Amino acid sequence: MTATPAAPHLREDLLTPRFYTTEIEKAARTPIEGQRAEFEAMLGEMKADYNREHFDRKAPLGRLKDLSSVEKEAYESYLVRSCVSEFSGFLLFKELSRRLGKAGRPELGELFQLMARDEARHAGFLNRALVAEGIEIDLPKLSTKRPITWFPLSWVLYSVYLSEKIGYWRYILIDRHLKANPDNNFAPLFDFFEPWCQDENRHGDIFNMLIRCWPGLRQGIRGRLLSRFFLWSVFLTHSLTVCERGNFYRILGMDPNRFDAEVMRQTNRTARRAFPAVFDLESSAFIALRDRIVDTFRDLRQARGLRKLGLQLRFGTLLLRQFCQPMVATGVEQAGAAGAELQEVVA
């Protein structure tokens, strides 16, 4: 089966992966000297490409057992969304690499080129798994058909950091579950999730370093608002994708709600090293509200007329309540302020 330009199983809604661009001229002015040692260490790790031998391009990626039509659609939908998401990351990093090189920042350009290499490798594996399912997606053509979303650089730094870290926890938790329950491992693709999550983790660390290059992004009201908005929006998207489209995780023998909650907890804990504030997931109603949001979202998709209007109002209220849940300071803001003062003294 050859995919249409929209791609099979790729719904045109808020949960669909997007293609992005940003303020590349501003990115070219990134002051890395205050993070020079860490920058060089990370560039060295990326050049070493520790996962080069872990991704066997000749490994068969077809399914190992038959699935029902509902399960097959859930698996294919997961592959399509993941493949488009990885390809989106490749395009963003590739554009940054090319234009940063032209702007006289070859070291930054090389770092993004190496991250683009990883994203292309991931997209290639997912595309091969799709081919094994009889689905072919023309990714370059798809990228010309879908709109490009522009984000300020600060938004890209925060959102990509979180997407890489939440990706790390998603892959590593699936990997651990399948190693403990090998009978649920129905596709060789999952055997590559361990090296895959290492790439995601390393990319997240790189973006944490890039955020620190701009100390103002973690200070004051701006830093706290960026932390709140992007943690909330990334968690919301993950919850709706996992809980509302949970059949894929059930095939793996996982409870979607528990998996989503654990991914959020671990990502929130990891974000303490990057953001000035994170959500208080243990003592607040954040996860309880998640359940009500997912249920309302599910009902909303089936509703019509006045009932739909009522559900829209309820959905918006629940979103606002979750967004306003309490956060806890991490101390990162103070550390960033001290670093900024030191840079001024040195300058």
- 75 with 64: CB under 8 angstroms? no
Predicted pLDDT at 142: 80
More confident residue, 108 or 16: 108
Confidence class for position 8, pLDDT limits 50, 70, 90: low
Amino acid identity, position 11: R
Least confident of 63-72, 231-240, 262-271: 63-72
Confidence class for position 17, pLDDT limits 50, 70, 90: confident
Which 8-state DSSP code applies to residue 6?
Answer: T
Q: Are strands 148-150 and 277-279 parallel, antiparallel or unpaired?
A: unpaired
Distance CA 128, CA 116 (A): 18
Average confidence (pLDDT) over 34-60: 89
Distance CA 9, CA 78 (A): 9
Q: Is the pLDDT of residue 347 over 60?
A: no
Per cent of the chain over pLDDT 90 is 75
Confidence class for position 324, pLDDT limits 50, 70, 90: very high
Distance CA 196, CA 86 (A): 11
More confident residue, 346 or 4: 4
Q: Is the pLDDT of residue 328 over 60?
A: yes
Distance CA 247, CA 245 (A): 6
Yes or no: domain 19-284+326-346 corresponds to CATH 1.10.620 = yes
Predicted pLDDT at 112: 97
Q: Would you tell me how many other CB atoms lie within 10 Å of the CB of residue 47?
A: 10
By C-alpha distance, which of 293, 265, 281 is closest to 325? 281
111 φ, ψ to 5°?
A: -60, -45
Average confidence (pLDDT) over 254-279: 97
- 322 burial level (CB within 10 Å; 0-12, 13-18, 19+): buried
More confident residue, 245 or 259: 259
Q: Is the pLDDT of residue 238 over 90?
A: yes
- 165 with 231: CB under 8 angstroms? no
3-state secondary structure 243-296: HHCCHHHHHCCCCHHHHHHHHHHHHHHHHCCCCCEEECCCCCCHHHHHHHHHHH
DSSP assignment of 113-128 equals HHHHHHHHHHHHHHHH
Q: Is the pLDDT of residue 331 over 80?
A: yes
Confidence class for position 9, pLDDT limits 50, 70, 90: low
Confidence class for position 245, pLDDT limits 50, 70, 90: confident
Q: Is the pLDDT of residue 340 over 70?
A: no
By C-alpha distance, which of 164, 152, 249 is closest to 205? 164
Least confident of 16-25, 199-208, 293-302: 16-25
Please state, rounded to an integer, the average pLDDT across all residues of the chain: 89
Predicted pLDDT at 295: 95
Confidence class for position 3, pLDDT limits 50, 70, 90: very low
Distance CA 212, CA 174 (A): 30
List pLDDT tens digits, range 120-154: 999 999 999 999 999 988 888 887 877 888 999 99
Q: Is the pLDDT of residue 22 over 60?
A: yes
Where does the chain have alpha helices with state H? 24-27, 36-48, 69-102, 106-132, 139-145, 153-180, 193-212, 220-244, 247-251, 256-271, 286-300, 305-323, 332-346
- 327 with 278: CB under 8 angstroms? yes
Amino acid identity, position 177: H
| Domain regions of the chain by residue span | 19-284+326-346
Predicted pLDDT at 301: 87
Average confidence (pLDDT) over 193-221: 94
Predicted pLDDT at 65: 87
Which 8-state DSSP code applies to residue 149?
Answer: E
